Amino acid sequence: MTKRILLTGGLGYIGSHTYVALVAAGYDVVILDNLSNSKRSVCDRLAQITGRDTTFVQADILDEPALAQLFSDYDFDAVIHFAGLKAVGESVEKPLEYMQVNVTGLVNILQAMQAASVNALVFSSSATVYDVSNTSPLREDMQTGFTNPYGYTKLTCEQILEQAVAANPSLKTGVLRYFNPAGADVSGLIGEDPNDIPNNLMPYISRVAIGEYEFLRVWGDDYDTPDGTGVRDYIHVSDLANGHVLSLNALLDRDESHLVNLGRGRGYSVMQVLNSYSRACGRELPYQVMPRRAGDIAEMYADVERAKQVLGFTVSRDLDDMCDSSWNWITTGAKDA
């Protein structure tokens, strides 16, 4: 029988791409989102891509009665929980808001699941939970830590899940530590389009590419890396989306919890990303080297062995695919989204 999945935050960047992957894998999906960082028009885009109507409920994960109603309206087999706040800088300004939405929001979801006897949850964690003292490649059993309220909420959520599973052996969780998602669906209809000035590298470069910003500010070129600029593990958002399908399959078929990194297992420098994007958009993109950004580390990339062994996860897209698809999205779909 077709399995029904609740996708919280399903109209956002990673959620919308995961929706496409889930529908392609034969799942029936209901999206919950409060539209705080996404647009209703994504529903139509998702329908266009999948050829099926999108089931969307506008609600907030902090609204407990609305969650109870949703769980009584639909029989869910599992939940994938993306909804939350994700801007590191903003979390320093508004730590309580981050704790309420990210931590209380997760507790609300777990309680609603428990009340409805839904026992499988995939959770969006982040490589930010690794302590900065670790050396890459980062392995799941390495030391955790946090340097800002956003990281604190992600680590706290992981610990809450651990304790919830310990207390309820029927509950199975897939904790996915994302590295740096980038790129967009091949259709160009969905992608990342931050409302504010982007902090992250790829969306900032895309704005330079369309001429909205004059140049990229490269935060430091004196790191101990091959070209001196920061190295990160960029993963195509459609590969990341497939990782969620594999995680869900593992929870539903094998009834086993897991905690895995989702990355490509190799790093690219800021200059490599800029060069790849320059190739994608057909012009040399301007940049200026600035002092290092506070809190940044030289390099960070995943050990991907566990994801491969436990989930069979591999990627099929490279950095050029990420830049090509980002450019396609920003010059087509993003314009009238």
| Residues designated catalytic | 150
What are the residues facing 32 on neighbouring strands? 8, 57
**Of the candidate residues 69, 104, 134, 200, the single one contacting ligand UDP (CB under 6 A):** 200
By DSSP bridging, strand 234-236 and strand 180-182 are: parallel
Distance between alpha carbon 100 and the CA centroid of its chain, in Å?
A: 19
Compare residues 71 and 179 and give the one whose CB is closer to ligand UDP. 179
Kindly state the tokens that stand for 6. Answer: 């609740």
Closest distance of CB 283 from ligand NAD, Å: 26
- Rounded CA separation 188/334 (Å): 8
CA–CA separation, 250 vs 255, rounded Å? 7
With CB under 6 A as the rule, give the number of residues binding ligand UDP: 14
Determine the length of the chain: 337
Least distance to ligand UDP, CB of residue 158, Å: 18
Among residues 19, 27, 82, 329, the one that binds ligand NAD under rule CB under 6 A = 82
**Can you tell me which of 5, 6, 7, 14 binds ligand NAD, judged by CB under 6 A?**
14
Residue of 283, 151, 140, 307 lying closest to 235 (CA atoms): 307
Return d(Cα 118, Cα 131) in angstroms, integer: 32
DSSP per residue, 136-159: SSB-TTSPB--SSHHHHHHHHHHH
Smallest gap, in angstroms, from Cβ of residue 269 to ligand UDP?
8
Give CA–CA dist 129/203, Å, rounded: 23
List residues bridging with 217 in a β-sheet.
288
Using CB under 6 A, which residues numbered 125 to 184 contact ligand UDP? 180
Say whether residue 61 binds ligand NAD (CB under 6 A).
Answer: yes
Taking CB positions, which residue lies at the least distance from ligand UDP? 230
The mark string for 159-178 relative to ligand NAD (x by CB under 6 A, - otherwise) is: -------------------x
Residue nearest ligand NAD by beta-carbon distance: 12
Per-residue binding string, ligand UDP, 206-235, x by CB under 6 A, is ----------xxxx----------x-x---
By CB under 6 A, how many residues form the interface with ligand NAD?
25
Q: Which residues bind ligand NAD (CB under 6 A)?
A: 9, 11-15, 33-38, 60-62, 82-84, 86, 101, 105, 124, 126, 178, 181
